[in-house]
Chain A
């Protein structure tokens, strides 16, 4: 039973991402020292610092499943941040209202992307690149230089734990995943896969690809809004030119986690992929601080850290060859099983015919 479940998991698209994630987790724990890694404080910091990125990756995965993408996700997060801070600062709105406004703006930005990709049928990569320019411009128009602040109550709450060990920031991620889980078991949950994999066939089955993508973009807008709230609470101020690289990084995190372009993979891929991304950067940081401690006189710039973590991420992509092989094997086995079956199918009528001949 357990072996069966494991076998199924081994063949699922998320398996590659899971292995990468596991390796990164162990690496991080070892390099940081398990005693200091498995503390409430260190786990809390990990979640608090990376919740926005993880949520953006989940949002991106939705679009990938629906057969499109949006590399302007990053600047949209900054947009939400800017709107929340400026709405509080200039209009004097309460923080919660600002947040709702921020989510609304994120949905609007998402809709703009939907209009380009689905209504005008532009290539999503290029259209959302053009949007990056537009949104970045708007961000700076709203807020020219980093400024503003968030009430202490809110950002303290974001950095705290419930029941003493559950980070509040993790709850944001869990909230996003619960929304997705509900949607996945809706009709929309199947339709999004059909539209992503083959819009024509989905259309033939009576599904409107445009409507399904609209829903995906709205949902993604809401998730981006949540990510924007997280980042606002994290930095407790506003910055119009941050998080731009989230757009493209979330995309590679998704692919690392095992998602394909259009209808292949699930949200677990996004979680594992972004987890790998985050943990590797963490591990490399601890690796270098370990080196500094071990080798007297060893000094190194942050350039090396970035270099090493990017190389590891590239190697992670290479790793997917191995897992893809496993999946091909599974495919092959499936085909062999059917051959056995169709052999049986063949024998029956042939035998019957032979028998008939004999009777005559």
Chain B
């Protein structure tokens, strides 16, 4: 068995782990849960040898061991599939999987034949359909994630660590993953599974350890917990039923002109033929399985990606923005769920991050007074209750939820006509999420139009007035009023546009 005891880790002045513990037995799948910044990923990195704990011990079969590097971790029978992937994009699939583990002949030359057999078997086991010689960067994110897991499994570990691997996977790939996990369980492999998706936890895990701000709060059998319990331990609060942001069911007269009217849009390669309308003051939800063209659609509206066919009518004129700068000028705002990559400026101060929207618009060589900047940032922090140390601290000092609130505040303060959000609450804790919903609803009531894509059905159902469901680059259904039910949504996401009226309505509107 594997055990971590009283682990402490400090990054300069920030405590990531504070006496956390965790143990897992052979043949056990343990869910490691906690909201953002609770230290789950740091725990995984300690076991993987990427983070050196300040205090605490690691025991394997009762013996204390030291893990100083990825090599040590591998030698002790630990393999890790990382959330942000450990594949090298400019190397081939084959080289990536064999990396650090290449079979060699007696002259020290890498034995290609032996490697090929290994890889073919592995790709077949995970149902991955790709050329072993292809560069990893040419693969889709979901295939890359499957490879990441396959690579970890290929090491034949005693302990397998899976850090939020399902976030980018299609549901059929998740099925494959779970069946492999069950096989490994039979073989006596211990597994630690980190995820934000609760239904998966109940589906596949035996036991759970829940963490909050760097400490282990509770652990036990999965069957002893309900969803409410888990949320309670993760956040320290019982979840409220009905968060007061429920859609009011706006209805619009047909004669009113829409703010946004998209017709027959096609974006290479994912979006084929897409039509959508949004009226002033509406919250439009965009649903669908991963990768059905949601983010491409939003980026095409913003001008971040070119579209090939169709028309976009916005604010009374036909537009095809060539860059986000133009779209922002035209009164749009964009909030991405990929915080680190697409929204935050981690090295810059909180104030500058809030100001980023204001900075983007206007005369390049205009004087910006420090006083007004300060006031602007202070207003936003107070109005949207963002928890910060000081405005002058770097933005990286904020927790994930507060970072996302900051990004939302950045745009709301600019009062855009149309706000686009691409999975904005991805990896955001429940509390911050509810606050973000409240802010959005408020803005819509004041006349802002909001288009929000989300990977979570509950979020869509609770916040949006109407939901467009994407399937394979087309709108498979438009749900509003009574039709806005979980069942309808799921059916539409699978491409089963059962109720023919619904789909007609979708086309019609």
In the complex, is A directly touching B at CB under 8 Å? yes
Chain A interfacial positions (CB closer than 8 Å to B):
182, 185-187, 189-191, 193-194, 197-198, 200-208, 260, 263-264, 330-331, 334-336, 338-339, 341-343, 345-346, 348-350, 353-354
Q: Which residues of A contact B88 (CB under 8 A)?
A: 193-194, 197-198, 201-202, 263
Q: Which residues of A contact B110 (CB under 8 A)?
A: 185-187, 189-190
Assess the B170–A346 pair: CB atoms within 8 A: yes
Given contact pairs A190-B98, A334-B135, enumerate 9 new A-B contacts (beta carbons under 8 Å): A194-B95, A194-B99, A203-B50, A205-B70, A205-B100, A206-B73, A207-B99, A338-B138, A350-B494
Q: Which residues of A contact B89 (CB under 8 A)?
A: 197-198
| Residues B277-299 near A (CB distance < 8 A) | 291
A338 partner, pick from B95, B140, B171, B472, beta carbons under 8 A: B140
Q: Which residues of A contact B82 (CB under 8 A)?
A: 204
Known: A190-B98, A190-B99. A338 touches B139 (CB 8 A): yes
Assess the A263–B91 pair: CB atoms within 8 A: yes
In the bound assembly, the distance between CA atoms of A264 and B135 in angstroms comes to 11
In the bound assembly, the distance between CA atoms of A350 and B89 in angstroms comes to 31
Assess the B100–A186 pair: CB atoms within 8 A: no
Q: Does B496 contact A (CB under 8 A)?
A: yes
In the bound assembly, the distance between CA atoms of A193 and B49 in angstroms comes to 21
Assess the B496–A354 pair: CB atoms within 8 A: yes
Nearest CB of B to A259, in Å? 12
* 13 CB < 8 A contacts A-B: A186-B109, A187-B110, A189-B110, A190-B95, A204-B82, A204-B86, A207-B70, A207-B71, A207-B100, A263-B91, A331-B137, A339-B140, A349-B175
Assess the A205–B91 pair: CB atoms within 8 A: no
In the bound assembly, the distance between CA atoms of A208 and B99 in angstroms comes to 12
Assess the B104–A187 pair: CB atoms within 8 A: yes
A193 partner, pick from B86, B90, B130, B139, beta carbons under 8 A: B90
In the bound assembly, the distance between CA atoms of A92 and B363 in angstroms comes to 73
Assess the B102–A343 pair: CB atoms within 8 A: no
Nearest CB of A to B53, in Å? 17
Assess the A187–B91 pair: CB atoms within 8 A: no
| Residues B86-144 near A (CB distance < 8 A) | 86-91, 95, 98-102, 104, 108-110, 129-130, 134-135, 137-140, 142-143
Q: Which residues of B contact A350 (CB under 8 A)?
A: 494-496
Q: Which residues of A contact B472 (CB under 8 A)?
A: 343, 346
In the bound assembly, the distance between CA atoms of A334 and B138 in angstroms comes to 6
Q: Does B48 contact A (CB under 8 A)?
A: yes
Nearest CB of A to B121, in Å? 20
In the bound assembly, the distance between CA atoms of A341 and B357 in angstroms comes to 40
Assess the A331–B71 pair: CB atoms within 8 A: no
Can you name the residue of chain B whose Cβ is closest to the Cβ of A338?
B140
Q: Which residues of B contact A349 (CB under 8 A)?
A: 171-172, 175
Q: Does B323 contact A (CB under 8 A)?
A: no
Assess the B99–A202 pair: CB atoms within 8 A: yes
Assess the B86–A338 pair: CB atoms within 8 A: no
In the bound assembly, the distance between CA atoms of A345 and B143 in angstroms comes to 12
Assess the A342–B494 pair: CB atoms within 8 A: no
Nearest CB of B to A269, in Å? 13
Assess the B134–A204 pair: CB atoms within 8 A: no
Assess the A187–B108 pair: CB atoms within 8 A: yes
In the bound assembly, the distance between CA atoms of A307 and B134 in angstroms comes to 42
Assess the A204–B50 pair: CB atoms within 8 A: yes
Assess the A335–B109 pair: CB atoms within 8 A: no
A206 partner, pick from B71, B104, B109, B175, beta carbons under 8 A: B71
Known: A205-B100, A208-B71. A331 touches B138 (CB 8 A): yes
B269 partner, pick from A187, A189, A335, beta carbons under 8 A: A335
| Residues B134-193 near A (CB distance < 8 A) | 134-135, 137-140, 142-143, 170-173, 175
Chain B interfacial positions (CB closer than 8 Å to A):
48-50, 69-71, 73-75, 80, 82, 85-91, 95, 98-102, 104, 108-110, 129-130, 134-135, 137-140, 142-143, 170-173, 175, 269-270, 291, 472, 494-496
Q: Which residues of B contact A345 (CB under 8 A)?
A: 129, 170, 172-173
Can you name the residue of chain A whose Cβ is closest to the Cβ of B175?
A349
Assess the B91–A193 pair: CB atoms within 8 A: yes
Nearest CB of B to A322, in Å? 20
Which interface residue of A186, A203, A206, A342 has the most chain B CB atoms within 10 A? A206
Nearest CB of B to A196, in Å? 8
In the bound assembly, the distance between CA atoms of A342 and B142 in angstroms comes to 10
Q: Which residues of A contact B175 (CB under 8 A)?
A: 349
Can you name the residue of chain B whose Cβ is closest to the Cβ of A187?
B102
Assess the B100–A206 pair: CB atoms within 8 A: yes
A208 partner, pick from B69, B109, B135, beta carbons under 8 A: B69
Assess the A185–B109 pair: CB atoms within 8 A: yes
Q: Which residues of A contact B143 (CB under 8 A)?
A: 338
In the bound assembly, the distance between CA atoms of A318 and B91 in angstroms comes to 26
Q: Which residues of A contact B138 (CB under 8 A)?
A: 330-331, 334-335, 338
In the bound assembly, the distance between CA atoms of A260 and B135 in angstroms comes to 15
Which interface residue of A191, A205, A345 has the most chain B CB atoms within 10 A? A205
Can you name the residue of chain A whose Cβ is closest to the Cβ of B173?
A345
Can you name the residue of chain B whose Cβ is closest to the Cβ of A207?
B100
Assess the B69–A203 pair: CB atoms within 8 A: yes
In the bound assembly, the distance between CA atoms of A294 and B172 in angstroms comes to 73
In the bound assembly, the distance between CA atoms of A306 and B86 in angstroms comes to 46
CB-CB nearest 3 A-B residue pairs: A334-B138, A206-B71, A205-B100
Assess the B269–A194 pair: CB atoms within 8 A: no
Assess the B108–A197 pair: CB atoms within 8 A: no
In the bound assembly, the distance between CA atoms of A343 and B471 in angstroms comes to 11
Nearest CB of B to A76, in Å? 28
Assess the A334–B91 pair: CB atoms within 8 A: no
Assess the A206–B90 pair: CB atoms within 8 A: no
Can you name the residue of chain A whose Cβ is closest to the Cβ of B129?
A341
In the bound assembly, the distance between CA atoms of A191 and B102 in angstroms comes to 10
Nearest CB of A to B151, in Å? 8
In the bound assembly, the distance between CA atoms of A341 and B134 in angstroms comes to 15
Nearest CB of A to B406, in Å? 27
In the bound assembly, the distance between CA atoms of A204 and B80 in angstroms comes to 9
B102 partner, pick from A190, A200, A202, beta carbons under 8 A: A190
In the bound assembly, the distance between CA atoms of A194 and B496 in angstroms comes to 44
Nearest CB of B to A81, in Å? 33
Nearest CB of A to B72, in Å? 8
Nearest CB of B to A116, in Å? 22
Assess the A335–B140 pair: CB atoms within 8 A: yes
Assess the B99–A339 pair: CB atoms within 8 A: no
In the bound assembly, the distance between CA atoms of A201 and B91 in angstroms comes to 12
Q: Which residues of B contact A205 (CB under 8 A)?
A: 70, 86, 99-101
Q: Which residues of A contact B101 (CB under 8 A)?
A: 205-206
In the bound assembly, the distance between CA atoms of A321 and B123 in angstroms comes to 35
A204 partner, pick from B70, B90, B130, beta carbons under 8 A: B70
Q: Which residues of A contact B87 (CB under 8 A)?
A: 201
Q: Which residues of B contact A346 (CB under 8 A)?
A: 170, 172, 472, 495
Nearest CB of B to A258, in Å? 13
Assess the B91–A197 pair: CB atoms within 8 A: yes
Q: Which residues of A contact B104 (CB under 8 A)?
A: 186-187
Known: A206-B100, A342-B140. A194 touches B50 (CB 8 A): no
Nearest CB of A to B299, in Å? 16
Can you name the residue of chain B whose Cβ is closest to the Cβ of A194?
B88
Assess the B270–A190 pair: CB atoms within 8 A: no
Nearest CB of A to B149, in Å? 14
Nearest CB of A to B305, in Å? 13
In the bound assembly, the distance between CA atoms of A191 and B472 in angstroms comes to 39
In the bound assembly, the distance between CA atoms of A158 and B142 in angstroms comes to 56
Nearest CB of B to A1, in Å? 16
Assess the B74–A206 pair: CB atoms within 8 A: yes
In the bound assembly, the distance between CA atoms of A359 and B142 in angstroms comes to 32
Nearest CB of A to B200, in Å? 17
In the bound assembly, the distance between CA atoms of A189 and B69 in angstroms comes to 21
